[in-house]
Amino acid sequence: MNIYDISKLAGVSTATVSRVINGFDNVKPATREKVLSIIASQGYTPNAFARGLGLNSMKTIGIMCADSSDMYLAKAVYYIEGALRENGYHCILTCTGYERKSQRESMEMLMSQHVDCIILAGSIFIDKDDSNNKYIYKAADSVPIMLLNANLDHKNIYCISCDDSAAMEKATEFLLDNKRNNILYLYNSNSYSATKKLSGYRKAFEKRGLKCNEDYIRYFNGTSKDLEKVCGFVTELADKGLKFNGVVASEDFLAVGALKYAVRKGIKVPKDLEIIGYNNSVLTVCTEPELSSVDNQLETLCTNLVRICIGALSGESMPQKTVFNGELIHRSTSASSRKTK
Amino acid sequence: MNIYDISKLAGVSTATVSRVINGFDNVKPATREKVLSIIASQGYTPNAFARGLGLNSMKTIGIMCADSSDMYLAKAVYYIEGALRENGYHCILTCTGYERKSQRESMEMLMSQHVDCIILAGSIFIDKDDSNNKYIYKAADSVPIMLLNANLDHKNIYCISCDDSAAMEKATEFLLDNKRNNILYLYNSNSYSATKKLSGYRKAFEKRGLKCNEDYIRYFNGTSKDLEKVCGFVTELADKGLKFNGVVASEDFLAVGALKYAVRKGIKVPKDLEIIGYNNSVLTVCTEPELSSVDNQLETLCTNLVRICIGALSGESMPQKTVFNGELIHRSTSASSRKTK
């Protein structure tokens, strides 16, 4: 039901409907009553309805993120909120946690607030079983949906991401080029972007006709709060006889944990072990030696997400897929200047 | 102007005003028109007005923070948003930056959204010149204002903080007890809580009748992104002849920078230098050795802030000052088990 439906049912012009909704008084009382009662029969208050029609938009955009205290997501929220505010929008933030049920509830809450658009920050919201993505498709029937670092093919859904697969492939290739063939791969998620990263690791081996040994692909069951556990996890792998001369990790904290293991064991980094993290977070510069890491251009992603969002809200035709490249940042845990060695 | 004024002007009961505002149809058209026109004459749309009266609260709370990508503030936003959501509220987040002007604008934006309450996360919003705090007092005339880690004496303003002075005093005392009398104090802000921390450092010396040498109190002009600069800053102080056997810092990243200096120079930590940070952030466990730090109980602060906020919104009498104690967390940069040495 839109403004045209209302005007038809009430037998008045759309301009009159708009005047009623916006509370202007140049409308006959009887006409106003009629329009209001038709709107009310839909279970809306006039104002909420007006916002739903975009006539009297509250200029509000919903942001869903699993955990705004996660460093990467916190930065994403910061960049997105700032860019939206510059464009005259403000944002309602919900931290959904990692359960599908609470994610659906957050989406419903935002829809009930008649936000102009919903931004899903992070790939955690997308399920591999597409039937679990219906709550997103349903929302996309009403408002544009923006996905950061995720992918869904659907009308009114716009995806902005880093090519995590290519970036991880580049990091892995860098180590393979230095004859580091035993590369431990650490990851802690099976989300869309985590899956892409792992596929990049495998591709680097395949491209060189090398066998990718599954023993070297290790899932760590924990979060960034568990740094000490990561160190223990890597130590245990080494103690059990796994030999590795390289580590790539899907998140910086996993690489920091691996570096802890090396520092405590007195292993020379990068001479005997090279380590590369992912996200280029502040953690990379806390450690000694400082950690090399893949920068997935979060600020660029967020700025462009907001640009596309604003365009879509203005009715412009915007691209549904936008992909940027990651960049490998060399610090002291990768042998970046090999020629001088 | 409130619902009683409207009912007087319209010559109807407050119940009738409420029915009109909430869009119920058991009101005579003429009465409805009259009430709406009185509300409109005040320049409100019925719904915004209703929210302003709390009759039809949007259950929205505004959160202002300088920079939601700051790790400490990101955690605060996370805890606050989660606790509010559990209580049926959602939050509009604005990242204001560090300029007073943009902070005032954010406040105005939130007020124009008719939020039920505004939470100021961090002490950066409070000015030492009280005339610059008028924008907060003005907002407090309309809605409760919650201050996290800050203090203002005013009606409808509720302050929840950690006793940063006592916590920093405890950390400094701990080093003095171990005959570390040359304690470098690093800080990077003059905010309310930063000032409290510095006063705690001074108090620890005074209490022991020791002179607090101002040469050891050093302001670092930079943010948490400037870790390498902190290391350079401390190195320069040492190179210029400043002798110190202890470091306490107002933020963890400053302590991490000092630790970098020690690791690079081969100084034994904690044997020849003890270092204590503040905030107990994830940075503390990235380093080797891991950093001792003051935990200022952020989660407890945030949970209680929301509890008091919800109480105040329900019209209960709530305390205007709530203060918690910080806790010194020993890791590997302080000699915590001295008896065994």
| Span A106-146, pLDDT tens digits | 899 888 878 999 999 998 999 889 999 999 999 999 999 99
Do B36 and B101 lie in one domain? The reply is no
Do A250 and A181 lie in one domain? The reply is yes
Residue B188 predicted with pLDDT over 50:
yes
pLDDT number for residue B9: 85
Residue A212 predicted with pLDDT over 60:
yes
Helix (H, G, I), strand (E, B) or coil at B75: helix
The CATH number of residue A90's host domain is 3.40.50.2300
Query: Which of B41, B45, B115, B285 is best to mutate for the A interface (most A CBs within 10 A)?
Result: B285
Residue A35 domain-assigned?
A: yes
Do B69 and B216 lie in one domain? The reply is no
pTM of the full structure: 0.80
Do A155 and A181 lie in one domain? The reply is no
Q: Per the CB < 8 Å rule, is B78 touching A95?
A: yes
The closest of B278, B288, B10 to B149, measured between CA atoms, is: B278
Residue B299 contacts A, CB cutoff 8 Å: no
Residue B298 contacts A, CB cutoff 8 Å: no
Nearest CA in chain A to B252: A286
Residue B36 contacts A, CB cutoff 8 Å: yes
Residue B18 contacts A, CB cutoff 8 Å: no
Residue B56 predicted with pLDDT over 80:
no
Q: What is the ipTM score, two decimals?
A: 0.75
Do A224 and A104 lie in one domain? The reply is no
Do B292 and B176 lie in one domain? The reply is yes
What is the residue range of A96's domain? 60-162+298-325
Distance CA(B171)–CA(B193), nearest Å, equals 16
Residue A223 contacts B, CB cutoff 8 Å: no
Q: How confident is the model at residue B224 (pLDDT cuts 50, 70, 90)?
A: confident
pLDDT digits 0-9 by tens, B9-45: 888 887 787 777 766 677 888 888 888 777 766 655 4
Q: Per the CB < 8 Å rule, is A71 touching B71?
A: yes
Residue B331 domain-assigned?
A: no
Do A197 and A261 lie in one domain? The reply is yes
Q: Per the CB < 8 Å rule, is A77 touching B68?
A: yes
pLDDT number for residue B42: 62
pLDDT number for residue B33: 82
pLDDT number for residue B22: 63
| Average pLDDT rounded to a whole number, residues B201-207 | 97
Q: Per the CB < 8 Å rule, is A40 touching B25?
A: yes
The CATH number of residue B43's host domain is 1.10.260.40
Tell me the Cα Rg of chain A: 25
Q: Per the CB < 8 Å rule, is A286 touching B287?
A: yes
Do A40 and A66 lie in one domain? The reply is no
The count of domains in chain A is: 3
Residue A329 contacts B, CB cutoff 8 Å: no
Nearest CA in chain B to A255: B286
Do B194 and B278 lie in one domain? The reply is yes
Query: Which of B93, B112, B223 is best to mutate for the A interface (most A CBs within 10 A)?
Result: B93
> Chain A partners of B85 at a C-beta cutoff of 8 Å?
94-95
DSSP A188-254: ---SHHHHHHHHHHHHHHHHTT----GGGEEE----TT-HHHHHHHHHHHHHTT---SEEEESSHHH
* The residue to which tokens 């203005």 are assigned: A314
Q: How would you classify the pairing of strands A145-148 and A157-162? A: parallel
What is the nearest CA distance from B182 to chain A, expressed in angstroms?
Answer: 25
> Chain B partners of A48 at a C-beta cutoff of 8 Å?
47
Residue B336 domain-assigned?
A: no
- Whole-angstrom CA distances from B148 to A77, B74, B190 are 20, 13, 16
Distance CA(B299)–CA(B280), nearest Å, equals 12
Residue A340 domain-assigned?
A: no
Helix (H, G, I), strand (E, B) or coil at B332: coil
Do A252 and A316 lie in one domain? The reply is no
Residue A190 domain-assigned?
A: yes
Do A155 and A194 lie in one domain? The reply is no
β-sheet bridge partners, residue A293: A277, A329
Nearest CA in chain A to B284: A286
| Average pLDDT rounded to a whole number, residues A5-20 | 81
What is the count of residue pairs from A and B with beta carbons less than 8 Å apart?
135
Nearest CA in chain A to B299: A69
Contact partners, residue B84, CB within 8 Å, separation at least 6: B61, B90, B91, B306, B309
- Whole-angstrom CA distances from A70 to A49, A81, A186, A225, B282 are 36, 16, 18, 10, 11
Residue A337 domain-assigned?
A: no
Picking from B22, B68, B90, the nearest residue to A113 by CB comes out as B90
Residue B333 domain-assigned?
A: no
Q: Which of residues 74-103 of A touch B (CB under 8 A)?
A: 74-75, 77-79, 81-82, 85, 90-95
End-to-end CA distance of chain A: 70
Q: Per the CB < 8 Å rule, is A256 touching B286?
A: yes
Average model confidence (pLDDT) across chain A: 89
pLDDT digits 0-9 by tens, B288-335: 999 999 999 999 999 999 999 999 998 899 999 999 999 999 999 998
Do B35 and B51 lie in one domain? The reply is yes
Contact partners, residue B224, CB within 8 Å, separation at least 6: A282, B70, B71, B251, B253
Residue A28 contacts B, CB cutoff 8 Å: no
* The residue to which tokens 């893949």 are assigned: A294
Residue B340 domain-assigned?
A: no
DSSP A72-127: HHHHHHHHHHHHHHHTT-EEEEEE--S-HHHHHHHHHHHHHTT-SEEEEESGGG--
Q: Per the CB < 8 Å rule, is B67 touching A78?
A: yes
